[in-house]
C-alpha cells in the first residue's frame, strides 16, 4: 500500500470518478485504475462498486476511506515534526458561542508576532466537528452538548479516540428584543414559562446550532418550542440583529452583558434547560501548548461572562 494509492482512492471517492481523480492528481486514467485494482487485490476486498455512471464506495470501502483520511493526515504530521518547535498551530471549530470566539481572538493576539503561526477558526456543528477531529482536519472543537445527548457523545468519543474536556454547564435562555410583548407574560412577570406563547412569533435558529434538530445540541424541551415560522442563519450578528429588530425570538446560551447591551436584548431563562460546554480533542492533545492555552483562555472568558 502506498501514499499515492490512498490519494487516488480518496480523490476518486470525492469526485465519484476515477477519470476525474486521475486528472486532479496529474495521472493517466489507466495508471489510476491500475493503482486502485492493485490496492483492492492487496486488501482482499473492493473499495468501489463500478457502475455506468461512476463509482460508489462499498460498505468495506467506506471504512477503508475513513482510515485513509487519518493515515494521510498523520503522514503530514510526521513530516511536520521538524517544524513543531517553531510553528504554532490551532485549528478550531466552534458553534458561534461568544466566549469561544473571544478566547480565539485573544489567542490570535498572543501569537500575532509568531513568524509561522497557523490559526484557523470555523463555525461548525458538534457532529461535523467530531468528524473533522477524527479526520485530523481540526485540533479542538468547542461544543455545546445537551444532557440527554451526552451518553451518545461519550460513546462516540471512545469509538474515535477523542476526549471530552468539561468546562461549564450553561443555562438556556429565550432571547427577545427589549419591549417585546412576551416579556410581560413570562417569568418573572408570570408564575410559569408557557411554551404556547411562542407559537405566534417567528423563530431564528443557527444553522450550526440547532436546538430543535436531532443533534448533540437538541434541548430536552425542543418539541415544545413551536413558532409561526423559522428563519435560519449561520452567523451570530445576523441572528441578533433579526431578534433586535423584530418580534422574532431565539434560543441559546446566556449572552454576555456587552452583547445584550449592543443589540438591546433581554434573556429569559428556560426552566430546567442547560447545555454542557466541552472542548473536544484527540486523546492526549489537550496537553499540546496551543490547545491547552486556548482552553485556559476560554475558561477565563467564562469566568467573566
The answer, yes or no, to whether residue 281 has pLDDT greater than 80, is: yes
Element (H, E) at 236: helix 236-245
The answer, yes or no, to whether residue 80 has pLDDT greater than 80, is: no
Q: Supply the pLDDT for residue 207.
A: 62
Element (H, E) at 118: strand 118-123
Q: Supply the pLDDT for residue 153.
A: 87
Q: Supply the pLDDT for residue 267.
A: 93
Q: Supply the pLDDT for residue 280.
A: 95
The answer, yes or no, to whether residue 209 has pLDDT greater than 60, is: no
Query: Burial code of 196-225, b = ≥16 C-beta within 10 A, e = fewer?
Result: ebbeebbbbbbebbbbbeebbbbbebbeeb
C-alpha cell at 22: 486521475
Write the pLDDT tens digit of every residue in 236-257. Answer: 789 899 999 999 999 988 788 8
Selection from 134, 261, 270 nearest residue 194 by Cα: 270
Write the pLDDT tens digit of every residue in 147-186. Answer: 888 888 888 888 778 899 999 999 999 999 999 999 999 9
Helices and strands, number each (H, E), in the chain = 10, 10
Most confident of 68-82, 117-131, 255-269: 255-269
**Averaged pLDDT, 287-299:** 93
Write the pLDDT tens digit of every residue in 18-45. Answer: 888 888 777 888 888 899 999 999 999 9
C-alpha cell at 93: 471549530
| Residue corresponding to grid cell 489537550 | 286
φ, ψ at 149 (rounded to 5°): -95, -5
Amino acid at each position: 500500500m502506498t501514499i499515492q494509492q490512498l490519494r487516488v482512492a480518496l480523490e476518486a471517492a470525492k469526485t465519484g470518478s476515477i477519470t476525474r481523480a486521475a486528472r486532479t492528481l496529474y495521472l493517466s486514467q489507466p495508471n489510476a485504475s491500475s493503482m486502485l485494482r492493485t490496492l483492492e487485490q492487496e486488501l482482499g476486498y473492493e473499495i468501489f462498486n463500478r457502475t455506468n455512471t461512476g463509482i460508489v464506495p462499498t460498505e468495506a470501502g467506506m471504512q477503508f476511506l475513513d482510515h485513509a483520511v487519518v493515515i494521510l493526515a498523520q503522514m503530514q504530521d510526521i513530516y511536520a515534526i521538524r517544524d513543531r518547535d517553531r510553528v504554532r498551530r490551532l485549528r478550531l471549530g466552534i458553534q458561534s458561542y461568544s466566549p469561544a470566539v473571544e478566547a480565539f481572538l485573544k489567542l490570535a493576539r498572543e501569537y500575532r508576532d509568531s513568524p509561522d503561526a497557523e490559526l484557523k477558526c470555523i463555525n461548525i456543528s458538534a457532529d461535523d466537528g467530531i468528524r473533522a477531529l477524527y479526520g485530523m482536519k481540526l485540533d479542538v472543537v468547542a461544543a455545546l452538548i445537551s444532557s440527554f445527548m451526552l451518553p451518545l457523545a461519550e460513546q462516540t468519543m471512545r469509538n474515535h479516540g477523542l476526549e471530552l474536556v468539561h468546562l461549564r454547564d450553561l443555562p438556556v435562555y429565550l432571547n427577545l428584543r427589549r419591549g417585546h410583548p412576551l416579556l410581560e407574560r413570562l417569568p418573572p412577570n408570570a408564575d410559569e414559562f408557557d411554551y404556547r406563547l411562542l407559537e405566534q412569533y417567528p423563530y431564528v435558529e443557527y444553522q450550526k446550532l440547532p436546538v430543535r434538530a436531532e443533534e448533540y445540541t437538541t434541548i430536552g424541551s425542543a418539541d415544545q418550542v413551536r413558532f409561526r415560522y423559522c428563519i435560519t442563519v449561520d452567523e451570530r450578528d445576523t441572528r441578533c440583529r433579526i431578534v433586535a429588530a423584530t418580534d422574532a425570538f431565539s434560543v441559546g446560551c446566556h449572552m454576555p452583558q456587552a452583547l445584550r447591551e449592543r443589540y438591546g436584548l433581554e434573556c429569559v431563562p428556560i426552566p430546567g434547560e442547560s447545555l454542557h460546554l466541552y472542548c473536544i480533542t484527540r486523546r492526549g492533545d489537550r496537553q499540546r501548548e496551543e490547545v491547552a492555552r486556548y482552553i485556559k483562555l476560554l475558561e477565563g472568558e467564562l469566568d467573566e461572562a
